[in-house]
Amino acid sequence: MKNLSVKLKITLWYTAFMTLLIVVSLLVLFSISSLRVLSDARTRLKNTVLQGYSEIEYRDGLLTFDDDLNYLEEGVYLCAYDSQGYLLYGRTPAGFSGAPTLIMDQLRQVGSGQDFWYVYDYCQSVDGYGNLWLRGIASQTGADSVLRIITNAAFILLPFSVLLIALGGYLITARALRPLSAMTETARTISRGKDLTQRIRLGAGKDEVHVLAHTFDQMMERLQISFENEKQFTSDVSHELRTPVAVILSQCEYASQEGTPPEELRGSIGVIGAQARKMSVLISQLLTLARADNGKQKLQYELVNLSELAEIITEEQSLAAEEKGITLQTDISPEILMRADETMMMRLFINLISNSITYGKPGGHTRITLSADEKEITGSVADDGIGIPAEHLDKIWQRFYQVDPSRTSGSGSGSGLGLPMVKWIVEAHGGQIGVSSRPGEGSVFTFRFPKRTAS
């Protein structure tokens, strides 16, 4: 049974069940009908026999049978017997084979096959004579023959009905399960050719098979997206690492040449150090995001003085800002406390402030604000730098997305991982972050944390 196809299994079960149902229904129908026929025959014969006694008299030592006895009921023959079972009066229908023993008040069927009779005997005392038996004999009724014909027809038709049921069941099941074959075929094509763009596309429908097919298509959609993201990610990482590695290699080659002056050697080591730091930042950002994806980046919650942290990081960044002629301004409310991961909060401020410097313009300003009310803590980093064109605003949160890699040429530190990490940090703390920007005018990054995580 296990090796049979689902189609065949369903057909077999369905056919067996339907056959059983038909057979049981026929049996119930026939037994009820034949019971009814028997009871009708019994009532008819008994009434005639009892009526027959009124047509019999015992007079002057003789039993007299009125002629009416033969015409009491059409099709019913009456015979009278003495208590020894000798026939005294009456006639039997043509073809009536035997005279079974007299049995009181019982309906019997005598004969076989198509020819049979109903026989009913009754014994009653006739005044002056004593016990007299009366027997009523009736041939089968119309209802009997109809019942027999139907029974015979049913038994002849039953095998054909079973065949029809099996065929119908098979066709319906095959039709209902056709999408499953399509799904199997699609899955096979995907696994053979690794073509993740394949879909079942079963069309509209709400039955189980359609739901399964839609779910399968959705799953393939997600698989395809994550597979493509994975490919994109690998290529982005390789791309980002290639430049610093190439710079390091060329600097090593240059420095290892004989006769390189010591100050140039120091210069090379400086360049190598800067590139190594860039790789280190990239690797640590990648690690954070990878752990965040796997749910393994655990936050170390502690009570953090966010105001102090913001001041310290602003201070740290002021040197880089000065180099670019950018003034850092703060509007930080004091003593804003929040339960948070301190390292992550540092990264948040460092990324936003250093971006404002990287993408700020010489002589520009960066304004860092932090405030809190009963509901939330709100912070922002606003600059009057180059801004972000509207069509890029949604995409800057994607990994490795850079509006224009050449815009960072000054620092050469861009990798497109900073903002995705900032977004993850804010969301992991239950907050939200957004940006508004105008090209040439500047950008404002605003984040909010609900007070419940701040308590």
358, 411 contact by CB (below 8 A):
yes
Rounded Cα distance, 314 and 321, in Å:
10
Q: Which stretch, 89-97, 122-130, 196-204, 415-423, contacts ligand ADP (CB under 6 A)?
A: 415-423
Query: Under the criterion CB under 6 A, does residue 52 sit at the interface with ligand ADP?
Result: no
- The span of 116-124, 125-133, 190-198, 379-387 binding ligand ADP (CB under 6 A) equals 379-387
For residue 107, the SS3 value is strand
Least separation in angstroms between residue 236's CB and ligand ADP is: 12
Q: Which of 306, 345, 419, 426 binds ligand ADP (CB under 6 A)?
A: 419
CA 384 to chain centroid, in Å, comes to 52
Q: How far is the CB of 436 from ligand ADP (least distance, A)?
A: 11
Distance between CA atoms of 29 and 23, rounded to whole angstroms?
10
- Minimal distance, residue 383 CB to ligand ADP, in Å: 5
Measured from the CB atom, the residue of 19 and 408 that comes closer to ligand ADP is: 408
Nearest approach in angstroms of CB 367 to ligand ADP is 12
Task: Calculate the alpha carbon distances from 286 to 114, 289, 399, 416, 445 in Å.
Answer: 95, 5, 10, 11, 22
Residue in 147, 368, 386, 433 binding ligand ADP, rule: CB under 6 A: 386
Minimum distance from residue 305 beta carbon to ligand ADP (Å): 25
**Least CB distance to ligand ADP at residue 291 (A):** 18
- Asked if residue 355 binds ligand ADP (CB under 6 A), the reply is yes
Q: Does residue number 46 form part of the binding site for ligand ADP (CB under 6 A)? A: no
Side-chain-facing half-sphere of 127: CA atoms under 13 Å:
6
**Residue from 52, 90, 364, 414 in contact with ligand ADP (CB under 6 A):** 414
Give the DSSP H or E segment for 445: strand 442-450
Indicate whether 288 belongs to the interface with ligand ADP (CB under 6 A): no
Q: Which of 383, 429, 431, 447 binds ligand ADP (CB under 6 A)?
A: 383
What is each CA distance from 419 to 28, 277, 381, in whole angstroms?
79, 19, 13
Q: Is 361 in the site for ligand ADP (CB under 6 A)?
A: no
The separation between the first and the last C-alpha atoms of the chain, rounded to the nearest angstrom, is 64
- Where helices occur in 301-443 by DSSP H, the ranges are 306-323, 342-358, 418-428
Q: Is 396 in the site for ligand ADP (CB under 6 A)?
A: yes
Give the Cα separation of 29 and 18 in Å (integer): 16
- In 3D, which of 350, 347, 433, 445 has the Cα closest to residue 388? 445
Quick check: 285 binds ligand ADP (CB under 6 A)?
no
Q: Applying CB under 6 A, which residues contact ligand ADP?
A: 351, 355-356, 359, 383, 385-388, 396, 401-403, 407-408, 414-419, 443
